[in-house]
Amino acid sequence: MEPIQMVTENWSRNFESSTTDYYDLSSVNDVCLPQELPFAYIFIPILYFITFLTGFFGNLFVILLMARKKGTKRLVDTFVLNLAVADLVFVCTLPFWALSEALSYWCFGEGLCKFSSYVISVNRCSSILFLMGMSVERFLVMTKHWDSRTIRTKKNIGMSCGCIWVVSLLLGIPSLVYRKLIPVDDTKSLCQDEEPSTTFSMIMLVFTFLFPLGVILFCYCSIFAKLQGHVSRSKRRNNALKIIFAIIGAFIFSWLPFNMFKAFFILTRAQDISLSCPALMALIWGLTISASLAFTNSCVNPIIYVFMDQQFRQQALKSFTTFCSTRENVQSSATSFSSTESSLLFASRKKLTPATSVQVGDPKCMGVGL
């Protein structure tokens, strides 16, 4: 029979090096030697590099726009900014994983192996927690009629974002503990995790995905039910909600498949279920593909803004057309930005025309304003 290490060498390169969670190799049947996902060493690195380029420039542009935004920033604005920062830091690690996938081994040392895995874990946790915070804030304003001016104080914003980052940094620590370089031969190693307990894996799954997802779904189901009874709502506020729905929907679409495969593996390990060879192949390939899909979420939000936010789209076009222009033209573009009133998430809150001025805490408008 083939030793377990040979089984690991056959399939770990396309799975373990691109995920942040451990999967027990001792459950792999020695007789069944899973095959590598065809052409994974080509399409996965290409996908990672595309995600890196799109996510780097897109999220950097979002950060610059939010930094230039005039007037008082809302809690939603701060969450959007923090999401962009988390995604920007994460995509900077993707070139390392892309090269690792192409070479079929990790060549950057154990320190970078641990750090990049830690960044992935923190990004995943912070993203869903910021989306959960965004959902709770919209729920309180729109269904409980909380005055958003009391929510968006500097103290509340600082405490909310600080708590989310602290929790995310703590939840990412297992990646620093369990992630190590596992030798394949005398010169090559793979960046993999050692084995945590099944109970610990399930607890991490609950706190880093299932619980936040449940809160998000509850908040937006409540918001949707509340909005059903209010037909007269401004187009601007409807579009703003659609953007937030799209951001959360994209995150769920990206991360749900990976977490479903992960939950299935944890349950089979907890029940000591022996998988057949075809089922094992489906699990391995599913985890490989779903992990790659999850990583693409880091570049999706700027694309959503381009298609759904008129102000962001205008600023993206202006920045592109003025990239090679003189300093005077760039300053003119910045002045134009501060006076535009059609934005949903990126507009100045300093000036509002009578047609668009809305008191966010007014029960008549249900606090729908963002």
Query: For 110-128, what is the mean pLDDT?
Result: 92
| pLDDT band for position 2 (cuts 50, 70, 90) | very low
Of 334 and 201, which is predicted with more confidence?
201
Tell me, yes or no, if the pTM score tops 0.85: no
In a domain, 240, yes or no: yes
Q: Which of 287, 265, 298 is nearest to 59 (CA)?
A: 298
Task: Let me know if residue 344 belongs to a domain.
Answer: no
pLDDT confidence of residue 333: 45
Q: Is the pLDDT of residue 24 over 60?
A: no
Please check the confidence at residue 57 and state whether its pLDDT lies above 80: yes
Three-state SS for 307?
Answer: helix
Give the pair of three-digit tokens for residue 340: 């535009």
Residue 106 sits in which domain range? Answer: 4-308
> Average of pLDDT values for 29-52?
79
Q: How many other CB atoms sit within 10 Å of the CB of residue 134?
A: 22
Answer yes or no: is 185 within a domain: yes
How confident is the model at residue 142, as a pLDDT? 79
Of the given ranges (73-82, 307-316, 355-364), which has the lowest mean pLDDT?
355-364
Q: What percent of the chain has pLDDT over 70?
A: 71
Please give the structure tokens belonging to residue 249. Answer: 């929907």
- Segment 23-29 mean pLDDT: 42
Q: Is the pLDDT of residue 349 over 90?
A: no
- Asked whether residue 49 is assigned to any structural domain, the reply reads yes
Q: Tell me: pLDDT of 146 over 60.
A: yes
C-alpha 329/C-alpha 323 separation (Å) is 10
| Confidence tier at 82 by pLDDT (50, 70, 90) | very high
CA distance 13 to 18: 8
How high does pLDDT run on average in the chain? 75
pLDDT confidence band for 149 (50 / 70 / 90): low
Tokens of 81: 């900014």
Task: Give the separation between CA 370 and CA 365, rounded to whole angstroms.
Answer: 11
The structural domain count of the chain equals: 1
The per-residue pLDDT for 242 is 80
* 233 domain residue, yes or no: yes
pLDDT digits (tens, 9 = 90+) for 155-195: 878 888 999 999 999 999 988 888 888 888 878 888 887 76
* 66, part of any domain: yes
**Cα gap 69→157, rounded to integer Å:** 16
Q: Which of 15-19, 154-158, 272-276 has the lowest mean pLDDT?
A: 15-19
Q: What is the mean pLDDT of residues 21-34?
A: 48
> What CATH number has the domain bearing residue 200?
1.20.1070.10
Which residues, 6+ apart, have CB-to-CB distance to 5 below 8 Å?
184
Could you tell me which residue, 342 or 40, shows the higher pLDDT?
40
Answer with the residue of higher pLDDT: 340 or 246: 246
Confirm whether 103 is domain-assigned: yes
In a domain, 354, yes or no: no
Report pLDDT for 188.
Answer: 86
With a CB cutoff of 8 Å and minimum separation 6, the contacts of 113 are 106, 179, 180, 181, 191
DSSP codes, 30-81: SS--PPPPTTHHHHHHHHHHHHHHHHHHHHHHHHHHHHH--SPPPHHHHHHH
